[in-house]
Amino acid sequence: MTKKEEVIKLENVWKIYQMGEVKVNALRGLDLTINKGEFVAIMGPSGSGKSTCVNMVGCLDVPTKGKIFLEGRDIAKLSESDLAQIRGKKIGFIFQQFNLIPTLSALENVALPMVFQGVPREDRKIRAKELLELVDLTERINHRPTELSGGQQQRVAIARSLANLPEVVLADEPTGNLDSKTGKNVIDFLREMHKNEGKTIVMVTHDKNVANHAQRVEFLKDGRIVG
């Protein structure tokens, strides 16, 4: 792979949390490169540093030591507002807990990321409708999260992750709160996005069967990649 194909690169990344008088090393010299168009799964047991790894790969946090590059730019050298803008355009997030706003409809939830990118209101509405059609929720666009099943909420979350046409979709345990059939549908959708739209997919999971759908699997243990 050439340098210009790298989308996200972590170099010797450490994340150390101070818990009272105790220092907790969540990440210990993590090296990870995500290339354009890849489907990568990151696996690891509980306590391996997966959640912290998600925050670093998604450029949601800065490392205690080491460097993180987003399309070749060192995120530590960016202001928070600049980083938020770049992150909002480049990375779409799918969370295990869905993280939908309960007072907003499905349409409004999907449109929300576009607000922060300055997309005009009518364009937001059109794009959000198209995305909800894509995940087969046309008849549910005005429903709030409490009126949707778990699988439907996850599909709203997937639609929302695509709102700003991101190059990278970061899925954190996307099937964790779903039954096996619905979970399979979510994985099939991620695979279609990767195959048909060329999206770069980074999926964090503890489930080997889910990870097997990726092109590449990285194992995380004690805060570093072990194989």
Domain ranges of the chain: 3-225
Q: What is the mean pLDDT of the chain?
A: 91
Q: Give me the CATH code for the 3-225 domain, please.
A: 3.40.50.300
126 vs 227, more confident: 126
Alpha carbon 198 to chain centroid, angstroms:
16
Position 4 pLDDT exceeds 80: no
Residue 15, beta-bridge partner list: 27
- Per residue in 138-155, pLDDT tens? 999 999 999 999 989 999
Give the Cα separation of 186 and 156 in Å (integer). 11
Mean pLDDT score, 25-37: 94
Structural contact between residues 135 and 106, judged by C-beta atoms closer than 8 angstroms: no
Q: State the number of CA atoms in the 13 A half-sphere of 202 facing the CB.
A: 28
Closest CA to 202 of 29, 35, 64: 35
Mean pLDDT calculated for residue range 147-164: 92
d(C-alpha 159, C-alpha 168), whole Å: 14
- CB contact at 8 A, 63 and 28: no
Strand partners, 65: 14
160 pLDDT more than 80: yes
The mean pLDDT value for 155-173 works out to 92
Per-residue pLDDT at 42 exceeds 70? yes
Tokens of 223: 């805060």
Torsions phi, psi for 11 (to 5 deg):
-120, 115
Q: Is the pLDDT of residue 165 over 70?
A: yes
What is the residue whose two structure tokens read 């997030």? 93
pTM for this prediction = 0.87
Phi-psi region of 98 (alpha: psi -120 to 50; beta: other; left: phi over 0): left
Of 179, 122, 183, the residue nearest 158 (C-alpha): 183
Q: 112: part of which helix (H) or strand (E)?
A: helix 106-115
